[in-house]
Amino acid sequence: MKAAVYDNPGLPTVLRYADVPDPVCGPGDVLIAVEAISIEGGDLVNRRSTPQRPSWIVGYAAAGTIVAIGENVRDRTVGQKVTAFDMQGSHAELWAVPASRTWLMPNDVDLAQAAALPISFGTARHCVITKGRLNEGETVLIQAAAGGVGLAAIQLARQAGATVIAVAGGRERQTRLTELGATHVIDRFEQDVVGEVRRLTDGKGAVLVIDPVGSTLQSSLSSLAVEGRLVFVGNAGGGLDVDLWSPLQNNQTLHGVFMGSLFERRAVHRTVDELLEAVAERRLDVVIDKAFPLRDASKAHEYAETAKPLGRVVMTP
């Protein structure tokens, strides 16, 4: 099969389009003929910094058709359309993943949207609802709101009845973020985020902050209300150094989220099924910025890393 692989971590140019052996479908696995690949933030981090064995296939997320099932799999059949998550291997024509890390696709969901949904919306829901415990009428601040998790968090928070303050770079994104549910949009290039949050909340701060960046954690803490809740997920911007004296004094709660170990939990897995149904019913929108062929994986990674896309970048084999 063809795949996008790297031998040593580095810039997007380390990716090459190559022939590699087909994956082996284990007893608990399904083998997927990949039709859409979502480039996730973790894919970029791994490619930049994680040494692996030669011809390593990066990639967390993809959707396609099951072409084989392992001998112990009872709830999947050949021919079903699924979307899937695993820790590596999605940047390829074929992908063997545990059946427990797949979700059946409703008929009315686009393959690219299905590929991008589990990580972005599954993560956002866990942050906003499960850990964030967002209530109607509360104010939530969403950092990096133009990314996949941010766009999902905007929609879920607005549907929960919250006032949504979204942070993004560039005024041209304001209209789209407002359409998706943001009450206020702060341009991080032109405005002071902490000052604007304080102004918009009459000095109180946001009750809940969702931070998928890492390097913005100090800003997030400074924007958080007394006894507020901060959920930080991922480290897309690098740097998790913060001063914890202020959260202690203000009785604030900090939750860290790493979804890689959670998706197989029954309750979390079920929420992704519910989110797929919501997309099929047009109650949620998975925003796709741009599509590339898999053979141009290096260009796709470069675009995802440098162009600051609105939503997910996808690839097709």
User: Is 264 domain-assigned?
Assistant: no
User: Is 12 domain-assigned?
Assistant: yes
Place of tokens 């990580």: 119
User: Is 261 domain-assigned?
Assistant: no
pLDDT tens, 63-86? 999 999 999 999 999 999 999 999
* Residues 232 and 292 grouped into a single domain: no
pLDDT tens, 140-172? 999 999 999 999 999 999 999 999 999 998 877
User: Is 273 domain-assigned?
Assistant: no
The candidate with the shortest Cα–Cα distance to 210, out of 129, 304, 276, 309, is: 129
| CATH at 145 | 3.40.50.720
User: Is 73 domain-assigned?
Assistant: yes
| Inter-CA distances, 151 with 161, 237, 309, Å | 16, 17, 11
* Residues 148 and 250 grouped into a single domain: yes
Angle, to 10 degrees, between the axis of helix 111-125 and the axis of helix 148-159? 70
Q: What is the pTM of this model?
A: 0.94
**CA pair distance 58, 303, nearest whole angstrom:** 16
Q: What is the mean pLDDT of the chain?
A: 95
* Residues 90 and 164 grouped into a single domain: no
User: Could you give the number of structural domains in the chain?
Assistant: 2
Interstrand relation of 288-293 and 312-316 (parallel, antiparallel or unpaired): parallel
Q: Which amino acid is at 133?
A: R
- Give the residue numbers spanning the domain of 88: 2-118+281-315
Which conformational region is residue 19 in: left (phi greater than 0), alpha (psi within -120 to 50 degrees), or beta?
A: beta
pLDDT tens, 230-240? 999 976 656 66
Residue 83's beta-bridge partner residues? 63, 103
| Inter-CA distances, 222 with 6, 32, 42, 46, 143, Å | 40, 45, 27, 30, 13
* Residues 137 and 239 grouped into a single domain: yes
CA angle 114, 118, 121 (to 5 degrees): 105
